[in-house]
Structure 1
Amino acid sequence: MIAPGFEEFLARCRVAAEDLQRDRIRLWMPGPDVFDRATGTTTPGPPTADYYTGQARVKPVAAASGEEVVAADRPVTLTDFEVSVPWAATVTGRPVPGAVVDVLTSPDSRMVGLRMWVTSIEFNSFATAWRIRAEVRS
């Protein structure tokens, strides 16, 4: 049984969480990769879904050490981030791993342009924000 006043307390906590969400992101699903023969580069295809654009909090996961892996015969460092979106955010669908998070604006100008790939999405009715785990691949 939920204690009396809990819903009001949770609502205040969600407002406080939104006060920390000072970044602006775009959450979208890329289409199949596109290979450019002239440059030899591969880029994500045009979006197949545009889930959300709006405020968020983007922060590195404290325990993330930057795992090094090999992809396409070259070393890649994976750095984990947590992206918190307002609890009441309106999204156009349920994002899945493989979706992309782009940081559009941030008080920390070094984060602008950061691209992350979604690895998991957390659902929880007692949460103060909607949390998405993502990784930067550099």
Structure 2
Amino acid sequence: MESTGLHWLAQAAPDPEAFREQWERTGLGLMLLPAGRRWDVLSVPGRLGHPALEVLAAGLSGPVLTDFGDEHVSFLVPVGTAARWVGTGVRCMGEGTWIVLPHPERSSRGVRWLVPPDGSGRLSDPALLELALHEAAAALSDW
């Protein structure tokens, strides 16, 4: 079976098959999934995250989402990144935390994918993300 973004995200659930079936059956746009199992999440202010994503736009980003009002941009990164990340204003979500995620194949209001998961398992590289965040911060300070 071809891997889709939905199947890939569901692998983070305690019971992936039941989770995927519930998500499809209920038609819910948003669901809670645990971070720290298949990926961690780094969330940055939107004014920094959007320009950082533009720096990474050459296919160097894994899944990325934004919240209500684009106040935060969140990057899915490899497991363990949240525990090692040091940065002001960066919210790190790893083992023991949960995150609200939108369905990858449906549009939703509020929380939505900027770069939806494609099922490949690609995540944002923390080193490249750090460089993109520095570049975005430098551009902001030039204002």
Q: TM-score range by the shorter chain?
A: under 0.3
Give the strand-richer structure, 1 or 2.
Answer: 1
Give the helix-richer structure, 1 or 2.
Answer: 2
Bigger relative CO (Cα 8 Å, ≥ 6 apart): 2
What is the TM-score of this pair, normalised by structure 1? Answer: 0.28
